[in-house]
Chains A and B, each alone.
Chain A
Amino acid sequence: GAVVSQHPSRVICKSGTSVKIECRSLDFQATTMFWYRQFPKQSLMLMATSNEGSKATYEQGVEKDKFLINHASLTLSTLTVTSAHPEDSSFYICSARGQGDTLGTQYFGPGTRLTVL
């Protein structure tokens, strides 16, 4: 159990376009989802936390108008990178925390590798 999927797994786009990444909890309800980005050979950096039905909380330095997060249901959160530029190229990973999980276990998706040309 506790499987999280992400789609797409890889995306290549031109500079200036927008890219949407989906994160789904397949067999549990995720009240909270987290979005991380990881640059090559670096650690995971938390971008934002989203709770179902409410606005996402962004970490310091993350532009909320550039990285739009929607958590419309208990099984789906989306991250849209608007007007992507080459410096946005990165590995984006989501994780989900289940309803009633008091230990705060986060289950990670397989990640989406974004390349902006």
Chain B
Amino acid sequence: GQQVMQIPQYQHVQEGEDFTTYCNSSTTLSNIQWYKQRPGGHPVFLIQLVKSGEVKKQKRLTFQFGEAKKNSSLHITATQTTDVGTYFCAGRSGNTPLVFGKGTRLSVIA
């Protein structure tokens, strides 16, 4: 079945440093979504990418969808302590449910 792999599993950064998490799918995706989950909370939808090569920005966050629609990345510029949490990508092929990556847990040291 479809698999979504996400790296790294953990990332510790100093406040102000950049952060990137990468997502790779074993199959071509219809779309990919990114979620953020704070410790003790539930996943919160950040964005959805649909088009090949799409790039979207939300303030300090930049999301990319690969040309082949099999990989994606989330980049945070100048991290802040409020960015702490686990970032999940989730992909979908055709009419299947979302398949989540294992997530990247981000720690930001002030």
Number of A interface residues in the complex (CB < 8 A): 21
Interface majority SS (helix, strand, loop, mixed), chain A: strand
CA distance A6 to B31 in the complex (A): 26
- Least CB separation from A93: chain B residue: B42
Interface: A54 (CB within 8 A)? no
Contacts of A105 in B (CB 8 A): 33, 45, 48
Known: A43-B88, A103-B31. A108 touches B42 (CB 8 A): yes
Known: A103-B31, A104-B31, A104-B92. A46 touches B97 (CB 8 A): yes
Q: Which of these, B31, B43, B50, B97, contacts A34 with CB under 8 Å? A: B97
CA distance A93 to B90 in the complex (A): 15
List residues of B (68-101) whose CB comes within 8 Å of A's CBs. 88, 90, 92, 95, 97-101
- Least CB separation from A2: chain B residue: B45
Contacts of A43 in B (CB 8 A): 88, 100-103
Contacts of A104 in B (CB 8 A): 30-31, 92, 95, 98
Contact A44 B48 (CB under 8 A): no
- Least CB separation from B88: chain A residue: A43
List residues of A (35-63) whose CB comes within 8 Å of B's CBs. 36, 41-46, 49
Known: A43-B102, A104-B95, A104-B98. A109 touches B42 (CB 8 A): yes
Q: Which of these, A41, A44, A91, A103, contacts B88 with CB under 8 Å? A: A44
Contacts of A93 in B (CB 8 A): 42-43
CA distance A46 to B57 in the complex (A): 29
CA distance A111 to B38 in the complex (A): 13
Smallest beta-carbon distance B90→chain A, Å: 8
Known: A34-B97, A104-B92, A109-B42. A42 touches B48 (CB 8 A): no
- Least CB separation from A36: chain B residue: B100
CA distance A2 to B48 in the complex (A): 15
Smallest beta-carbon distance A70→chain B, Å: 18
The 6 closest A-B CB pairs, nearest first, are A111-B42, A43-B102, A44-B100, A43-B100, A110-B42, A104-B92
